[in-house]
């Protein structure tokens, strides 16, 4: 009686398309894509399955498969950890950029607030000066009203007539 193939051999053959029947497409179960490259795991399984024929060898094959599986899991864990660190780094960079942006916005807002406060102060100062000027004008007007109407003294009339006559005399000499 011929020894029956181990379960790992059967799986390997089924995966590789060597199930004993030809698929007619050349190359086995590759679905028309030509020869398929074997992965590292498949090569190890194939080596293990071709070199083992007894039950002790099956244990070694299973150990190799388990070791390969553990190695792949370790690589996957390392890759996940690398991705996690890269994401943490990107997050820290994004947070630093956001903090810098918030600081710039805070400074711009402070400048704007200071500018608006200065404008408000200047407007209040201008309003105060206008009120003071209007108040002075009003005080002068009240004082003028209190003094009464403007009247010239009678002596001024005589002096104005004398000056007018002197001016006429000078004009007549020039002509």
Given a contact cutoff of 8 angstroms between Cβ atoms, the answer to whether 90 and 96 are in contact is: no
Give the separation between CA 46 and CA 59, rounded to whole angstroms. Answer: 14
The pLDDT of residue 38: 58
Residue 140 is assigned to a structural domain of this protein: no
Per-residue confidence band for 111, with pLDDT thresholds at 50, 70 and 90:
very high
Residue among 34, 43, 33, 37 at smallest CA distance from 12: 43
On whether residue 135 sits in a domain, the answer given is: no
The pLDDT of 98-125, averaged and rounded, is 97
Domain residues for 12?
Answer: 7-19+37-119
Whether 145 is in a domain gets the answer: no
Q: Who's near 11: CB < 8 A, 6+ residues apart? A: 45
SS (H, E, C) 126-148: HHHHHHHHHHHHHHHHHHHHHHC
Q: Is residue 93 part of a domain?
A: yes
Q: Considering the chain, what is the average pLDDT of its residues?
A: 79
Residue 133 belongs to a domain: no
Q: How far, in Å, CA of 119 to CA of 125, rounded?
A: 10
Domain count, the chain: 1
Which pairs from 40-44 meet CB under 8 Å and 24+ separation? 40/68, 41/68, 41/69, 41/72, 42/12, 42/15, 42/16, 44/68
pLDDT at 45: 65
In the predicted model, is pLDDT for residue 88 greater than 90?
Answer: yes
In a domain, 160, yes or no: no
Give a yes or no: residue 26 inside a domain. no
Question: Would you say residue 104 lies in a domain?
Answer: yes
pLDDT recorded at residue 48: 56
Q: What's the predicted TM-score (pTM) here?
A: 0.37
Q: What is the pLDDT of residues 113-154, one digit of tens each?
A: 999 999 999 999 999 999 999 999 999 999 988 888 777 777
Mean pLDDT, to the nearest integer, of 84-109?
Answer: 97
Q: Which two tokens stand for residue 37?
A: 């490259």
Average pLDDT over residues 53-62: 63
| Rg (the chain; Cα; Å) | 55
* Six-digit token string for 1: 């009686």
Which band of pLDDT confidence, cut at 50, 70 and 90, is reported for residue 59?
Answer: low
């Amino acid at each position: 009686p011929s020894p029956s193939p181990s379960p790992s051999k059967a799986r390997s053959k089924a995966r590789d398309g060597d199930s004993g029947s030809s698929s007619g497409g050349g190359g086995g179960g590759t679905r028309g894509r030509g020869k398929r490259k074997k992965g590292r795991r498949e090569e190890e399984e194939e080596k293990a399955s071709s070199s083992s024929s007894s039950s002790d060898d099956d244990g070694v094959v299973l150990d190799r498969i388990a070791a390969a599986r553990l190695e792949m899991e370790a690589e996957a864990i390392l890759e996940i950890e690398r991705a996690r660190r890269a994401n943490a780094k990107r997050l820290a960079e994004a947070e630093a950029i956001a903090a810098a942006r918030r600081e710039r916005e805070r400074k711009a807002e402070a400048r704007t607030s200071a500018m608006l406060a200065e404008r408000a102060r200047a407007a209040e100062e201008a309003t105060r000066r206008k009120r003071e000027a209007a108040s002075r004008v009003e005080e002068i007007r009240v004082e003028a009203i209190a003094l009464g109407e403007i009247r010239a003294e009678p002596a001024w009339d005589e002096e104005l007539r004398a000056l007018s006559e002197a001016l006429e005399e000078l004009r007549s000499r020039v002509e």
